[in-house]
Structure 1
Amino acid sequence: MNFRFAIISDPHIAVPRTIPNHANRFHLVEVSILALEKVLKHLEQLNLDFLLFPGDLTQDGEIDNHEWLARRLRSLPFPVFVVPGNHDVPSVEPTNLKIGLHQFPSYYDHCGYKNQQMYYTQEIIPGVRIIGLNSNQFNEEGKQLGCLDNEQLTWLENLLPQIKDELLLVMIHHNVIEHLPDQRTHELGKRYMLNNAPLLLKMLKSVNCKLIFTGHLHVQDIAYDQGIYEITTGSLVSYPHPYRIIEVQQPIKGSLSLNVTSHRVKNVPGWENLEDISRKWLGDRSFPFMVKLLTASPLKISQQEAEKLAPYLRYFWSDVAAGDGVFDFPDFPPQIRDYFRRFGAIKPDGTEAKIDNKVTLNL
């Protein structure tokens, strides 16, 4: 079994007339189409077997953006599989400008969806099966939630026992495994987690699933829990504008290796120094977020103290997003210094583990 595929996550496609004028937004949707076209040009030169998009395909679920992307993906020379992100289906009901939740499959019936169900499975190549899940639900007040509904869980319960001797690739927008310290409970991190992640992990572990692909968090990170790797890929419209290419090889029967390489869009027409611009863009908008992080649990320092420390963290989130960061702020108080170290690519024994961008995973 030898095959190659790519991952593009959170491209937030926005045709020019749909680009919002929000001064504090974190991603550069102005480059969304330019960046995607550059990546696709690269991928079209490779002998890819398929391409994955783990959600947030569009800026905010606009009809124009879904139509543009669906048409572009249809023209590619390899199969494409997508799942919806929270930005793709911002409400249950459609509006004049945006699609509703249950309209999503009709736009991407060539990208995994074969009927109006919000989830699917398909054998991509012999011995390799994808499961695409919808992690976007809404409560009675219309608030968007990150969880799997009972219908999908029942479907999975019936499906999983039928999967025999196949490599299973599970794709879902929200994170299932933590990529940040205490992400599941942290007031800033938990909204990126699947609410019923422990249940999904238990189900996947029962069938020896080893791979989950997610987006949403806009960071390059590979996490591991209970025998399962979760590969989350950063946003194409946010620093460092990454995408991944993964080669799967079977050196001997019964073993598989995943060779993960990451690439960056460093420039596009009109944005020749895109990396520098986007890193500064995040840095310029980081102060309020860093103050929230410092004043939140577990640090809970005062607003005044947080405002003193936040400027030193100007590029902290950019470096988290890039993956493989190692963090040390020696002038911070010991408790705060130790907390930020936990965001780095460090094993429990204190040694570095730079696996977020380039690594060989043996399954």
Structure 2
Amino acid sequence: MAEFVSKRLCRVALLPDCHVQSGRCTWPTQPTRRLYGAARNLLESCLNRLEQMNVDAALLLGDTLDPADSRGLDWLSSLIRTCPFAVYTIIGNHESYGSLSISEFYRRLEIPASGNYVVRVNEVPFVMLATPDQDGFSNGSSEFAWLRETLEQLSDVTNVFCCAHFSLVLHPCVQGARNDGMQVLWSAAPLLDLLHEFPNVRGWIAGHKNIPSKVEERGVLHLLSPQLIQAPCAFRVLDIFSNGIESKLYEIEEKELAELSRQAYGTEYVERLGRPEDRDFSWFW
């Protein structure tokens, strides 16, 4: 049986699609699928809880704001600045719809003008990629060249993870009738080929679709995680080791809110849970 061969290198929390909306703070009291009115409070509460869980960093995987406006960015930048542990964010499609430009979003959150950057969490690199829509990182583009150069620079590192709002593979939870064409980057094929050139790339961590799911594609783990405001109202924590990861989902502590979302889904609620093996698991390389 496989075992982890090192102490934990880092612990990161994955928080996709929080959908905080400025001025929308009416506390939900009736069944509703998405708990928009509680979104800000749920994110703040979650970060407080993560501090007690000794996470090293939280990764906001896009659509943290819905949409991005000046008031929301003031709040988010303050939240990131005052959090006792590192919080890193990338842009999602909803943040590109707001009253502020994408360049202003990057500037206000002190993200490089390209939207792409690398952070190290206890020396484990996470390549943070800007995908406000599905047409980024096409083969031959400056973004694609930047990613190749970055992965080349990190080729001597044991483990590398990429984070983006959109996926590279079609997860089972959005196949068939649930495939609305908004799951994957249009450049997924060349990007998958690029990742395959670098065997130290362990995972592609995405948002946008929020049913717990994992797919292994040519040695790379492609991961989706739940969101705080929509059933099952949870978040994912990854413990990363030198030869694998351990994943665990945690439901929000605000049980009465989670129940409102669950009630709104009715018999469809079970579909939001994903497969049991995609929630809590160990994965080795």
TM-score higher than 0.5 here? yes
* Structure 1 residue 117 displacement after superposition: 1.9
* Structure 1 residue 18 displacement after superposition: 7.7
Moved more, 234-243 or 8-17: 8-17
Question: How far apart in 2 are the matches of 1:355 and 1:135?
Answer: 28
8 Å contact kept, 1:18–1:62:
no
In structure 2, the residue matched to 1:101 is 102
8 Å contact kept, 2:203–2:223:
yes
The alignment-based identity, stated in percent, is 20
| Structure 2 residue corresponding to 1:359, chosen from 270, 281, 284 | 281
The structure whose Rg is larger is 1
In structure 2, the residue matched to 1:260 is 247
Question: How far apart in 2 are the matches of 1:199 and 1:186?
Answer: 26
Matched residue pairs, number? 271
User: Secondary structure of the residue that 1:16 maps to in structure 2?
Assistant: coil
8 Å contact kept, 2:212–2:274:
yes
8 Å contact kept, 2:62–2:90:
yes
Q: What letter is aligned with 2:62?
A: G
In structure 1, the residue matched to 2:129 is 133
User: Secondary structure of the residue that 1:193 maps to in structure 2?
Assistant: coil
In structure 1, the residue matched to 2:113 is 116
8 Å contact kept, 1:241–1:266:
no
User: Could you report, residue by residue, the CA deviation over 1:47-87 in whole angstroms, capped at 9, with x for unpaired residues?
Assistant: 22211111111122222122211211211111122111111
Q: Give 1:280-291 correspondences, 5 Å limit.
A: 280-283=263-266
The 3 A distance-change label for structure 1 pair 266 and 195 is same
Question: How far apart in 2 are the matches of 1:68 and 1:125?
Answer: 27
User: Secondary structure of the residue that 1:360 maps to in structure 2?
Assistant: strand
8 Å contact kept, 1:8–1:53:
yes
Q: Do residues 204 (structure 1) and 205 (structure 2) align?
A: no
Question: How far apart in 2 are the matches of 1:227 and 1:257?
Answer: 12
Q: What letter is aligned with 1:84?
A: I
User: Secondary structure of the residue that 2:74 maps to in structure 1?
Assistant: helix
Question: How far apart in 2 are the matches of 1:205 and 1:108?
Answer: 32
User: Could you report, residue by residue, the CA deviation over 1:263-298 in whole angstroms, capped at 9, with x for unpaired residues?
Assistant: 01142xxxx522221012234xxxxxxxxxxxxxxx
Question: How far apart in 2 are the matches of 1:165 and 1:62?
Answer: 40
In structure 1, the residue matched to 2:210 is 218
Question: How far apart in 2 are the matches of 1:187 and 1:29?
Answer: 23
In structure 1, the residue matched to 2:44 is 37
User: Secondary structure of the residue that 2:143 maps to in structure 1?
Assistant: helix
8 Å contact kept, 1:119–1:132:
yes
In structure 2, the residue matched to 1:249 is 241
User: Could you report, residue by residue, the CA deviation over 1:226-258 in whole angstroms, capped at 9, with x for unpaired residues?
Assistant: 1111111122111111111111224xxxxx121
In structure 2, the residue matched to 1:22 is none
In structure 2, the residue matched to 1:302 is none
The 3 A distance-change label for structure 1 pair 16 and 214 is same
User: Could you report, residue by residue, the CA deviation over 1:190-226 in whole angstroms, capped at 9, with x for unpaired residues?
Assistant: 2121111111111111111121111101211112111
Question: How far apart in 2 are the matches of 1:202 and 1:134?
Answer: 19
Q: What letter is aligned with 2:113?
A: Q
Q: Do residues 55 (structure 1) and 55 (structure 2) align?
A: no
Question: How far apart in 1 are the matches of 2:216 and 2:107?
Answer: 34
User: Secondary structure of the residue that 2:277 maps to in structure 1?
Assistant: coil
Question: How far apart in 2 are the matches of 1:34 and 1:196?
Answer: 36
In structure 2, the residue matched to 1:75 is 82
Q: Do residues 321 (structure 1) and 243 (structure 2) align?
A: no
Question: How far apart in 2 are the matches of 1:146 and 1:28?
Answer: 30
User: Secondary structure of the residue that 1:210 maps to in structure 2?
Assistant: strand
* Structure 1 residue 16 displacement after superposition: 3.1
Question: How far apart in 2 are the matches of 1:192 and 1:164?
Answer: 28
Moved more, 154-163 or 79-88: 154-163
| Structure 1 residue corresponding to 2:136, chosen from 132, 147, 150 | 147
Question: How far apart in 1 are the matches of 2:244 and 2:179?
Answer: 34
8 Å contact kept, 1:221–1:232:
yes
* Structure 1 residue 362 displacement after superposition: 0.7
Q: Do residues 276 (structure 1) and 256 (structure 2) align?
A: no
Task: Name the structure with the higher strand share.
Answer: 2
8 Å contact kept, 2:203–2:220:
yes
| Structure 1 residue corresponding to 2:225, chosen from 229, 233, 239 | 233
